[in-house]
Amino acid sequence: MSGTETFRTTTPHMLKESKQYASQTLMGGLSGFESPIGLDRRDRLTALKSGDIGFVHSWDINTAVDGPGTRMTVFMSGCPLRCQYCQNPDTWKMRDGQPVYLDAMIKKVDRYKDLFKATGGGITFSGGESMMQPAFVSRVFHAAKEMGVHTCLDTSGFLGRNYTDEMIDDIDLCLLDVKSGDEDTYHKVTGGTLAPTIDFGQRLNKAGKKIWIRFVLVPGLTDAEENVENVAKICESFGEAVEHIDVLGFHQLGRPKWHEMRIPYPLENQKGPSAALKKRVMDQFRSHGFTVY
């Protein structure tokens, strides 16, 4: 998209006339964001499609977790996958998030831009699955790039078809979850299919972007040697884009949310990987020439 392109913004008439709506802001994890709570369903869908609003679960400021430097990580609501080890099942449904104005999000990035530049940080969109809201995310990224702020997308790549090449241009780094190396295991873990992740990673490489691979190691589910070898081969297909691979050991920190939401938790009694298992998997990736953490 060109720097001279004019985006349509949400206009005042789209809000209900009540001053209660006009003055309301989000609290808790989204404190300080102006929210178009008064939009009716039709106008909300229109604004969502254009990217004038995005449905957000929460956000925080962190260091060296979701990309380099100090980062503003925004957790978007909505996800098409149902990963067995998901830490945030409360982000699955977009309607459970809060609508936030595009301008409010951009202003928040602008507020922290000096901090980002000083620390080599920036903004990261995570989820849920941020690719469910491509217009909002890509417009924030475009604005961030115009400010000189580093951009990072945390995604499974499953909805890569939602991203045009122009949208990819505004991504500096992708934290790409490669959840499995074979189709059967991928479907068992997520309920989805593997091919879109591979396709998106290859598109990122073609565009000259950087990738940090994330692989969740679950004993008895994703740890088979053949599965890990297949993940490594997939990562090789991303060429020079891959800077490193993070092997993330499964843990039970997400279990309380499943219980609270009364969703049957498929890994109720699952233990995390032993040190020996994690070393074996890391060594497998290293044998393919990858830097591994």
**pLDDT greater than 50 at residue 201:** yes
Residue 282, domain CATH? 3.20.20.70
**pLDDT greater than 60 at residue 206:** yes
Instruction: Indicate whether 13 belongs to any domain.
Output: no
Range of lowest pLDDT (37-51, 241-255, 264-278) = 37-51
Indicate the number of domains in the chain.
Answer: 1
Residue type for position 44: R
Residue 3 is predicted with a pLDDT of 41
Instruction: Indicate whether 190 belongs to any domain.
Output: yes
Residue 36 is predicted with a pLDDT of 67
- The rounded mean pLDDT for the chain is 89
Q: Residue 188: which H helix or E strand, with range?
A: helix 183-190
What number is the average pLDDT over the span 227-253?
97
Q: Among 35, 15, 16, 17, which residue's Cα sits nearest to residue 25?
A: 35
Residue 37 is predicted with a pLDDT of 58
Q: How confident is the model at residue 38 (pLDDT cuts 50, 70, 90)?
A: low
Range of lowest pLDDT (21-35, 169-183, 228-242) = 21-35
Rounded to an integer, what distance in angstroms lies between the CA atom of residue 71 and that of residue 110? 13
Instruction: Indicate whether 169 belongs to any domain.
Output: yes
Token pair of 19, please? 């001053």
What number is the average pLDDT over the span 285-291?
98
Alpha helices in 60-131 (DSSP H): 102-119
Provide the terminal-to-terminal Cα distance of the chain, rounded to the nearest Å: 36
**pLDDT greater than 90 at residue 94:** yes
Instruction: Indicate whether 2 belongs to any domain.
Output: no
Residue 63 is predicted with a pLDDT of 84
Instruction: Indicate whether 202 belongs to any domain.
Output: yes
Instruction: Indicate whether 119 belongs to any domain.
Output: yes
Range of lowest pLDDT (42-46, 253-257, 267-271) = 42-46
What number is the average pLDDT over the span 171-178?
98
Range of lowest pLDDT (22-36, 41-55, 125-139, 219-233) = 22-36
**pLDDT greater than 90 at residue 21:** no
Residue 80 is predicted with a pLDDT of 96
Instruction: Indicate whether 10 belongs to any domain.
Output: no
Q: Domain range spanning residue 253?
A: 19-286
Hey, is 157 helix, strand or coil? coil
pTM: 0.87
More confident residue, 1 or 146: 146
Rounded to an integer, what distance in angstroms lies between the CA atom of residue 237 and that of residue 195? 12
Instruction: Indicate whether 8 belongs to any domain.
Output: no
